Structure formats: structure tokens, C-alpha cells
Structure 1
Amino acid sequence: MTLSGCVTAFLPPKSGAGPSVTPGTSDVDAALKPYYEQQLAWTSCDKGMECTTAKAPVNWDDPSAGDLELSLVRHRATGKAIGSLFVNPGGPGASGVDLVANSLDFAVDKTLQQNFDVIGFDPRGVARSTPVTCYDAKQMDSFLYDITPGERGSDAWIASNETSATEFGDACKAKTGAPLEYVDTQSAAKDLDMLRAAVGDNELYYLGYSYGTFLGATYAGLFPKNVGRLVLDGAIDPSTSNFDVVETQSKGFESALRAYLADCMTGKDCPFSGSVDDAMTRIGQMLAAVDANPIPASDGRLLGANTLLTAIIYPLYQADAWPYLSQMFDEVMRGGTSIAFQFADQYNGRDANGTYADNQTEAFNAINCLDYSYNDDPTLMRQQAAELEKAAPVIGKYMAYGDTFCAKWPYQSRTERTEIHAKGAAPILVVGTTNDPATPYVWAQNLAKQLDSGHLVTYKGEGHTGYNKGSTCVNDAVDRYLVDGTVPSTDPKCT
């Protein structure tokens, strides 16, 4: 029932880049020093890595209100370590522990593995770090896949979504308790600074993907003096409103869909014929058809427009997945749902047996509801829905009305979306992919301009994020920066 609602100037290594017995905590409030100075007990875990948990205050403004746990995994450097490199995969809601533990080579290349102790961490509220908990598997199925009754955008349809949102938020509050109010990104950035000190580093070395760029930029804004080297790949513009995000992502995914179709029509197995515009019209008709008459699946679920849109979006994140998107479209055209539900389930973290591997849906919603401001006035939402449909004629209307959900969340945002300049921070690398559907390129351009020390690295390509995706140019720029402190004097405009 949920709504879809995204050349060389050498700088010598800084003196604090490597491990330090007494990392800088001179500016830390006395009440918070016990967290910064805690001794982490690393133990051996799977695949020769080390695991630990750290304590953080639930409320950084009132550490007496209780603690929560943060989960970390570390892969020791295969060579002489410069220091630690914290990695975040995005989301919000994706597990950094899982990324490093299960997909180390995807997260970072061999050069970074040689030079850094690579640390994956689950931000507060995510996976193993005092997770946001709301629904069991059956309830989550209903929440994600049930068809909202009524005509899309009607009073009855909006009211039904409001009821669903209220019930979900109430369940999250009841099961998660006090930490639910404090899973915002500013709190997570404060956790990150504490973790930096706890592992023995005076400065933060960090690689953040997608939402991880917002976490990294927020960190730089709060702790500019503690910035060592930050890479923000697949950037989010921190000054964008919730509606701006949805509108830009709608255009981004529509652009990626057109790129897929242009490629598809050069092959013999494309399920579409005619022009790209003809195919876009056909996809629009397909979405409208299942919106009006959902297709039943063998397990009893119904394939409606929201789920089909999720299934379309999922393979657009990487161009390598485009052939599977063709298979899905072909199957749906014949009345089938198997591949569409496979894609939607993978996006939602649902296993084939109907269980959910993690809490990414709960964490995604909880964090976003605290990070943005929302307005669920029906008149405004209908106006914005029309704007989305104009911006992205095929998929825009199905990404509208998202404010309904977070406007009913138990807690509201305490921060404003604004530009982050991070005055006084060391150089920061921002990577943007020109046809990134989830975090469109304009956001990387904006963030690099906003940051006083921002440097843009452009990847001229398709898909989400640019590092470690096949471009030697991008990898070299990131590796030289993180390892040697080399910052491009101009954008290398990689291919």
C-alpha cells in the first residue's frame, strides 16, 4: 500500500591519518567523552574479519537518556594501514556491515583494501544497530503490496493511505521505543565522529554511496576540523526539499528508462517495437492497466502499479541488469508476474520464502521521515502530482502523494534541509554519474559547489554511483585521493 515516494595537486597525508592512541577529543563535552574514549572489543568473525559493537547515546543532547548499540565489522589492511576507512552503502537503511562482510570487493577495490582497515557499520536504527522494528513478515507484505482502494488521488484513496501510515508508525513506536525519535542523520553523523575516535583515528576517512553522501556531508558540516578524506559517490543535494527529491528522481528514472529502451531496440530480444516514445507510451499504458486491474500472482499477491514501478526501477540502477528488465516487460505483457515480484522483493529485502532479511523498509521510512519536512494537504499534493506527471509523464504520477506517509509519522523533523558548506574542511571528493537515476547528476554538481572544499569527479555513464563500477578513471581518482591525498585540479570527466 506504500507510495513510491533516489590535474593533480598533491596534498601530503595529514599527521593524524593513521591510528592514534589518544585521538583528538579536546572539543568533546565531558558528558560525551566516555563514548569517545570507549575501548572497542574486536573479536574474530566470518571470513577472517573482526566484529564489535559500540555504545552511543540515544539522544546526543541528553546522554543520560540511555544508550543504543552500533554494529561494526572490520577487514584489516592487506598492507601497511594508513588508518581506517569507514564505508556506508546508502539507503537509508542499507547495512554497512553486510556490505563489507559479504561484498568487500564490490565496496572497495584492492588498492583500498591494501591501504586501509575497511570498516562497515550499521547506522543507528539499521540492521544490527538497535534496529527500528515495526511489522512481522505477514504485516509487511500487506503494507508493501496491498492495493489501496479507490481511485488514485481521490479523498478515499488518500484517507486509506493515511490509515496505513498511522498504523505503521504506531507499530514502529511501540516496538522500537525511544530510539525511534533519534534515528535522524545528524544523530548518525555524531555517532560516526565518536566511532572515528573509538577506533583510534584523529580524522575521518570515509567512502559513502548514495544516501551515504548525505551522511558524509552532514558529518563534514558538523565536524569540519575532523575531516580527513571523504568520498561522496552518487551525491544527494542536502538543500533539496522532499518534493524536489521526488521530482528530480522521477526525471532521473524516466531518463534511465529511455536509455534502456534505446539500448533495447538495438537487440533482437526487445519486447518493444517502434520508437522510444512509442515504447514509453506502451509502458505508461501497462502501468495504467495494472493500476486499474492488478494481476494476481500465484501466492495471492496482486501486481499493481506501485509494485510494478518498483520492479521497473530496480534494474535501472545498473545497466548490466537491463536484459532482465526486458524479460520482465515481456512476461507482464503476457499476464505474468513472476519476474516483477522477484525484482520488487529484491528491492524490498523480501526472501523467496516470504521473510524479510533485514529492516531496510522500516529504517528507510524512519530516517527519511526525520530528515525532511512534509505537508499532506490534499490540494497541495494534487498540485504536486500534476507537476510530477508533467516532469516525468510515464512514471511521475506513481511517485506522488508520498507526503501522506511521513506527515503521519510519530516524530517530526528537528532540522532544516539547507546547503552544507563545511567551512574549514579538508578537500572532499564528490563523484557523480551523468545518467544516475537514483541520485541524478545535478545533485553531485550542486553538492560539489556548496562544499567550500568540494571537488567534482564526473563519470559519463549509466547506473547508480561511479566508483568501482568499471571506470579506471574514476577508480584512479578516488584511490589517489584516499591513499595519497591527490586531488584533481579539474574534473577528469571520466568514461
Structure 2
Amino acid sequence: MPTRPALRRCALVALVALGLTGCVAPKHQASSPTPGVSASATGDPALSRYYDQVLEWTTCGDEQCADATVPLDWSEPGGETITIALRRVPASGGSPVGSLLVNPGGPGRSAVDTVGFFRQVVSRDVLAVYDMVAFDPRGVQHSTPITCVDPPELDALTAWVPDWSTDEGIAEAVARNGELGQACLERTGPLLGHVDTASAARDMDVLRAVLGDEALTFLGFSYGTDLGATYAALFPERVGRLVLDGALDPTLDSGEVAAGQAAGFESALRAYVTDCQAGPQCPLDGDADKGLAQIGQMFDRIRANPLPTGTDRELTVSLAFSGVAAPLYTQSSWPLLTQALTGAIDKGDGSVLLQLADSYYGRQPDGTYSSNQNEAFSSIMCLDDRPSADPADMRADAAEVQAVAPTVGEFFSYGGAGCAAWPVPAVGALESYEAQGAAPIVVIGTTNDPATPYAWAQSLSELLSSAVLLTYEGEGHTAYGRSNQCVKSAVDTYLLTGEAPADGTTC
């Protein structure tokens, strides 16, 4: 989730290939809501149309699909409605103890499209006893979606290189992002003002009820931890077993987020450079400081002269950074970064960096995009936080970011220009995330996570009154399902028995 006006997102695994099998008949009998956990539990008769609904499941390949109905505006539950898309993997053991909701982050990433990824990440023992249910939050892909621009316009936005050196350049960035917001409003309508995280968390409580669960069991990665923490703050008495991996601190302002992420990606890039230089055929010579300087010099050259890619698209410096950032999400992708840097630095060829950037944004070879994740990201972020767009404030923040991240800091600066002219008002964060009375919540942090720095996991575990912190000492974004047996065993034990690991456990 590198933050700046050009579209960015915090993908769980940036290089996952996505696929979706369409939902077709026949219908399956829906599970009836458990008595006492739906409308009657809310104390509000106006909400009964949502909490008492019965889902109609259809076959989707090896899985089941359904749409749930929720209010467009939670302050007016009797008004317009939208749909939330669900994709369910029935418990392999045949007798589920409940549902495990999953979300891959973003904001804007489709869980429905990544259900295959979750089938690989979540352990077989957990899948045996839970119905795993992927859902797309409001505004995302298969739910009632945010729609903004056509693919060529999105190409132009992702390749665009703003000029932050003058007030005129900043004003142009504000105006251009305002035009994007206006296009979103024209194509999406009133939904654009209601895709905030708090509304999405309220939707999750409807899903809990209509799936028949008295308490929510949830696995959220990256931005999914924000959803989970917000749910816990709104509905502490309905918290079951929540795993929040790759944690965000929802109380940080956008400047603090930018500085934290810039430092995180700088640290991850340093770790990559050190690893690269220890192996054969690394395009970066000298020590880690010199290697980082060479990457910075590459960015400078590309800014002045975009690289050819063997296509009709040039590699701009914005795309080059996206191509560098994508493999840093998971250590297994580092060899791809070496291949990309070798092409760019040694041969003046931007083709591999462009491929990595396209993967980052979900751009397909035919020029279409696999989802609306980029537009949804901007729409959700601009509702949740509205940073200062004053040039003096942004320049001061940029100087601080550059100090902690001299190689990549520029790409995390001037984020206020992204939302300054957004056409709907911000909603903002909650006043408190203590979630007093909630059952134990497991927060996971990776010590050199580039996208969600470890310090955020520490602070989120302190914010949530019942949280315990599980630490993975390693590289990459998130830990469960990709790190080691220690993390896997701790999470599986918690999901299967409710026994949380001891606070401060390190793997």
C-alpha cells in the first residue's frame, strides 16, 4: 500500500495469478440463520430485512456463491440497498463448527477472486471444520462495485509522473485526482460516499448473522486487519476468533502511514540488495549502500528518459517503482527483481519491470484489468482519511520521509494531493479501537514487513484491549501460510480451540 496520488494498493501477494469460475445453477439449500443471532439480536426492527435474510447459494465450480443484501447507507437502513458477494468453500469434514470469513487486504482486493489462494494458505485442519467464506467488501469487484475509468485511462494514471517541485505541479496533481474522483462519482453514484471501512465492518456483522454464527471468526491480511479491528471496536461482544496478520494501525494519520511504509520498503529493499549481492549475477555491485544508490540512480535515469519495453508502452519512473515494490512483498519473488533490475540497469530494457508493475496493478496482457481494485483503493482511502494538501505541509512531510527512506521516499510523498478534490466528504476513523469485552484477538507482525511495518502490529496489539502479539522474525508481507511451522501451529491452535498464543510469542 505505498501511498501517493497515483494509484497504489497493499496487495497480499502481488504476483498471484487470479482466476474465477462463474456461478451457475443449480441452487443449494441455504443454511438458515441460527435463532437469536439475527434481527432479534440487533434490537432494531428496521434491520431485520438484512439480519433475517436467507442466502441462496449457487454452485461456483467446486464452491458455492451467494449475494447478501446490506444498506447502502447504514444511517438509513430503510433506503437503497447494495449487495455483498460471497464465495464459500464448504468444510471438508462435512460438519462445520461455523464460518471463517477471509479478506486479503487492499483495500480493494477481491477475496472472491483469491479464494484459491486462501485454500492454499489456510491449513487443512482448519478447512476441515470451518466453512471458509470469502467476501468482497462494498465497492469491490463482485459486490456492488466502484466504477471510474476505462483501461486506457487507468494506464495513463499508473504511468503518470507528477511534478512535485512547484506549486503548479502540485495543483495539477490535485486537479487530476479530482477528475478521477468525479469520474468515479458519475459512474458509481451515491455508493462512492459509503465505501468507508466502518460501513464495510457493519456489513460483516450481517454476514456473521446470515451465516448462522453467534460470533465472528475472521482471518484478515493487511488492510483486512483494519476491517477486523474496526469490527471488534463496533461489535466487541460478537468477536469470536480474529486473526489480524500484517497489521495496520487505524489511528495513524496518512503522513505517519507514508513515513512508516517508506521506511518499511527501504528496509526490505536493503535486505533484498544484501541477498542479491551475496549471490551470482547480481547487477548491483559493492556493499548494500552502494547497491541502493544504484537503484536510486536507475530511478533518476528513468525519470529523465523512460525505458523501452518492447511494447507501445514506455516504463516511466512511476511504473519502475511499482515494478521494484511488487517483488518485495514476498521473499520468494526476489529473483524476479534481480531479473528486472538486470534488464533495466545493464541493458536499458524496462520490459520485466513493466511486467511486474502490471502484475501489481492487475493489468492483463490484453490491456484490461482483472478487477476494480485500483479504483476501489482510492475511493476507500479517500473516505477513511483526508490528509492536508497544503504544499508547505506536504513538503515538510516529504522531507521527513526522504530522511528515513532516501531511495524510495519520493514515491510515498505528497499523498494529500490524492484526496484533496475528492467529490464526497471523508468519513474518518472511529474514536476508539479498544474493543472492551472482546474475546482474545491474535495480531501478527513480521519484523521486516515492507507494507505494514512491524511497529504497527505492536501498536495495534496495544490498541485492542484483548489482543495478543505474535511475531514472525523474517521478510515479506504477512506471515500465516508462508512463514514457518511456529506461526502456523499458533494460528491453527487458536482457530481450532480458541487458545491464543502467549502475548509476545516470537517465531
- TM-score (norm: length of structure 1): 0.94
Kindly tell me: are residues 392 and 418 of structure 1, through their superposed partners in 2, closer, same or farther at Cα, counting changes over 3 Å?
A: farther
**Corresponding position: 1:392 with 2:396:** no
Aligned to 2:52: 37
Aligned to 1:144: 158
**Corresponding position: 1:256 with 2:268:** yes
**Corresponding position: 1:229 with 2:233:** no
Aligned residues of 1:2 and 1:161 also touching (Cα < 8 A): no
Aligned to 1:9: none
Residues 125-174 of structure 1: CA deviation (Å, up to 9, x unaligned): 001111000011111111211344xx433223212212210111011000
Aligned to 1:357: 370
CA distance in 2, matches of 1:110, 1:153: 53
Q: Which amino acid aligns with 2:6?
A: T
Cα deviation for residue 373 of structure 1 reads 2.2
Kindly tell me: are residues 469 and 27 of structure 1, through their superposed partners in 2, closer, same or farther at Cα, counting changes over 3 Å?
A: same
Cα deviation for residue 63 of structure 1 reads 1.8
Kindly tell me: are residues 379 and 161 of structure 1, through their superposed partners in 2, closer, same or farther at Cα, counting changes over 3 Å?
A: same
Cα deviation for residue 29 of structure 1 reads 1.5
Aligned to 1:380: 393
Kindly tell me: are residues 5 and 75 of structure 1, through their superposed partners in 2, closer, same or farther at Cα, counting changes over 3 Å?
A: closer
Aligned to 1:210: 222
Q: Which runs of 5+ in 2 are unaligned?
A: 11-31
Cα deviation for residue 299 of structure 1 reads 2.9
Aligned residues of 2:70 and 2:83 also touching (Cα < 8 A): yes
Kindly tell me: are residues 219 and 145 of structure 1, through their superposed partners in 2, closer, same or farther at Cα, counting changes over 3 Å?
A: same
Kindly tell me: are residues 93 and 308 of structure 1, through their superposed partners in 2, closer, same or farther at Cα, counting changes over 3 Å?
A: same
CA distance in 2, matches of 1:51, 1:364: 24
Q: Which amino acid aligns with 2:140?
A: V
- Output the aligned Cα RMSD: 1.6
Aligned to 1:90: 105
Cα deviation for residue 19 of structure 1 reads 7.5
CA distance in 1, matches of 2:503, 2:219: 21
Cα deviation for residue 402 of structure 1 reads 1.4
Aligned to 1:239: 251
Aligned to 1:49: 63
Cα deviation for residue 415 of structure 1 reads 2.5
Cα deviation for residue 399 of structure 1 reads 1.6
Q: Which amino acid aligns with 2:157?
A: F
Residues 13-49 of structure 1: CA deviation (Å, up to 9, x unaligned): xxxxx97344254234211121011010011111x21
**Corresponding position: 1:328 with 2:340:** yes
Aligned to 1:12: none
Q: Which amino acid aligns with 2:176?
A: S
**Corresponding position: 1:274 with 2:286:** yes
| Secondary structure in structure 2 of the residue aligned to 1:54 | strand
Query: Identity percentage over the alignment?
Result: 45
Residues 178-211 of structure 1: CA deviation (Å, up to 9, x unaligned): 1110000000000000110011111100000000
Aligned to 2:192: 180
Q: Which amino acid aligns with 1:455?
A: V
Aligned to 1:170: 182
Where do 1:84-163 residues align within 5 Å? 84-100=99-115, 102-148=116-162, 151-163=163-175
Which of 66, 69, 74 is the equivalent residue of 1:60? Answer: 74
**Corresponding position: 1:468 with 2:468:** no
Residues 62-98 of structure 1: CA deviation (Å, up to 9, x unaligned): 1233000110010111113110000000000011111
CA distance in 1, matches of 2:172, 2:461: 41
Kindly tell me: are residues 273 and 345 of structure 1, through their superposed partners in 2, closer, same or farther at Cα, counting changes over 3 Å?
A: same
Cα deviation for residue 388 of structure 1 reads 0.9
Aligned to 1:458: 471
Cα deviation for residue 470 of structure 1 reads 3.5
Cα deviation for residue 301 of structure 1 reads 2.4
Q: Which moved more, 1:433-442 or 1:56-65?
A: 56-65
- TM-score (norm: length of structure 2): 0.92
Q: Which moved more, 1:28-37 or 1:184-193?
A: 28-37
Which of 447, 461, 479 is the equivalent residue of 2:492? Answer: 479
Q: Which runs of 5+ in 1 are unaligned?
A: 7-17
Aligned to 1:220: 232
Q: Which amino acid aligns with 1:114?
A: A
Aligned residues of 1:204 and 1:226 also touching (Cα < 8 A): yes
Which of 2, 6, 21 is the equivalent residue of 1:2? Answer: 6
Q: Which amino acid aligns with 1:224?
A: P
User: How many pairs are equivalent?
Assistant: 479
CA distance in 2, matches of 1:370, 1:60: 15
Aligned residues of 2:243 and 2:444 also touching (Cα < 8 A): yes
CA distance in 1, matches of 2:418, 2:430: 19
Aligned residues of 2:148 and 2:187 also touching (Cα < 8 A): yes
Aligned to 2:324: 312
Aligned residues of 1:72 and 1:122 also touching (Cα < 8 A): yes
Aligned to 2:382: 369
| Secondary structure in structure 1 of the residue aligned to 2:482 | coil
CA distance in 1, matches of 2:118, 2:206: 24
Cα deviation for residue 391 of structure 1 reads 1.3
Aligned residues of 1:281 and 1:394 also touching (Cα < 8 A): yes
Kindly tell me: are residues 113 and 4 of structure 1, through their superposed partners in 2, closer, same or farther at Cα, counting changes over 3 Å?
A: closer
Q: Which moved more, 1:179-188 or 1:394-403?
A: 394-403
Cα deviation for residue 104 of structure 1 reads 3.4
| Secondary structure in structure 2 of the residue aligned to 1:97 | coil
Q: Which amino acid aligns with 2:98?
A: G
Q: Which moved more, 1:485-494 or 1:306-315?
A: 485-494
CA distance in 1, matches of 2:33, 2:493: 20
Residues 458-487 of structure 1: CA deviation (Å, up to 9, x unaligned): 001100001001411101111111110111
| Secondary structure in structure 1 of the residue aligned to 2:251 | coil
